[in-house]
Amino acid sequence: MYIDPQQCTGCGLCVPYCPVGAISQEEGGVATVDFDGCVECSTCLRFAGCPTGALVESPETSEWPRLLRRQFSDPTAPHSSTGRRGRASGGVKTNDVTGQTRRGGIKISMEFGRPGVATRLSQIEKMSVALAKAGAVFSAQNPVTALMVDSATGEFRPEVLEERVLSATLEIQITPGQLDRLVPVIRDVAAKVGTAISWSATMRLGDDGSIPYLADFERLDVEARPNAKVNLGMGRPLVAD
Ligand code: SF4
Ligand code: SF4
């Protein structure tokens, strides 16, 4: 985003709309956008209602690799890699029909950043490389996976690493037998990576309605706070479970 200093009256309306504090204003002066800090979420443009039209997209907004900022941060912008909007592979509600949550498996989702914090893609790569070494398989339909040079190593394309986004979600598919190895890796990297991370595990309920693998998580000292989403009318599974 860019603020045209010739058009800005310094009214200050836009400043509180920025979720990462990238807009600043000297006392009584025009507002400016910190180009490196801006995650291109378009919140200021869509909601602040600049009275003079001083807020404009900078030309770099739609250029590679900066366009990734918008695709991960602006909920109205689809990803060029998946064609979908949002920061992950789609809502949890669709995971069982798309085959991302299979019986006998666990899907782990790790959200990096959030409003007020944000994340560099390099911070996510630290986790993906560590998880790849530990044998994790990355979700194929995820826009973070699409940034990888090689999903076997978890390494991202080098030119994207310094891009900053509001949040992005790394997703892996594992077997219950991998929990003992992967949970300590997630804990270890999360403590060092320097941004907010929240992670969750998604499994399909047993036929009797029980939640599988809870004892495994408790044994690994992971506090279980179960919640469920019930999928009605989503049609036939797209892949066999
Ligand atoms: S809302 Fe527009 S005129 Fe007011 S400070 Fe922001 S850019 Fe300047
Ligand atoms: S596009 Fe988003 S991050 Fe950039 S200045 Fe506007 S509100 Fe802030």
Q: Tell me how far apart the alpha carbons of residues 26 and 59 are, in angstroms, rounded to a whole number.
A: 25
136 CA to centre of ligand 2 in angstroms: 34
What is the DSSP secondary-structure string of 94-134?
A: GTTTTTSS-TT-EEEEEEEE-TTT-EEHHHHHHHHHHHHHT
Which residue minimizes the CA distance to atom 7 of ligand 2?
18
Q: Return the bridge partners of 25, or none.
A: 31
Among protein residues, the one whose CA lies closest to atom 6 of ligand 2: 44
Instruction: For residue 116, give the ligand nearest its CA.
Output: 2
Is residue 48 within 6 Å of ligand 1 at its C-beta?
yes
Burial class (CB in 10 A: 0-12, 13-18, 19+), 53: exposed
Give average pLDDT by consecutive 10-residue segment, the chain, 241 residues.
96 96 92 97 96 95 96 87 66 59 85 93 98 94 93 97 96 94 96 94 87 92 82 56 47
Domains delineated in the chain: 2-63 (3.30.70.20), 81-219 (3.30.70.1710)
pLDDT for 231 equals: 65
Q: Is the CB of 61 under 6 A from ligand 2?
A: no
Please state the φ and ψ torsions of residue 193, each to the nearest 5 degrees.
Answer: -80, -20
Q: At what angle do helices 121-133 and 179-192 cross, to 10 degrees?
A: 150
**Candidate from 2, 3, 46 with most ligand 1 atoms within 8 A of CB, to mutate:** 3
Q: pLDDT value at position 234?
A: 56
**Which residues does 240 contact at the CB level (< 8 Å), separation at least 6?**
99
| Centroid of ligand 1 to alpha carbon of 189 (angstroms) | 40
- Residue 65: asked if its preceding bond is cis (omega within 30°), the reply is yes
